[in-house]
Amino acid sequence: MGKPARLSDDERADLARRFPRWEVTDTAMRRRFEFPDFVAAMGFVTKVALLAERAGHHPTWTNTYRTVDIELTTHDAGGLSARDRALAAEIERILGETR
């Protein structure tokens, strides 16, 4: 499998429209998630971790008590790729199941 392609300007603009709660830049997409408590935040992190491992595409994230910050980027592409778009969609799906 070759190096993933970086999303074009138009594809990044579409990404921003498709995921309005995410901050989309030239190189990454970020979102803060807040949960009722630490246990709910960790449950979400665990679900995303299992999904990311299966996809072989791992986010950068931090957790402080009930807040989880996630950043997606594809280092091999030097910015956003279809991998990030797919993982963001799955994170949104998991979020819907978590709440």
The burial of 99, by beta-carbon neighbours within 10 Å (0-12 exposed, 13-18 middle, 19 or more buried), is given as exposed
Q: Closest Cα partner for 86 from 3, 4, 1, 10?
A: 4
Domain ranges of the chain: 9-98
Query: Which pTM value belongs to this model?
Result: 0.91
Q: Please, what's the b/e burial string for 7-19 (b: 16 or more CB within 10 A of its CB; e: otherwise)?
A: beeeebeebeeeb
CATH of domain 9-98: 3.30.1360.20
Per-residue pLDDT of the chain (99 residues), as tens digits, is: 678 899 999 999 999 999 999 999 999 999 999 999 999 999 999 999 999 999 989 999 999 999 999 999 999 899 999 999 999 999 999 988 655
Residues facing 54 on adjacent strands: none
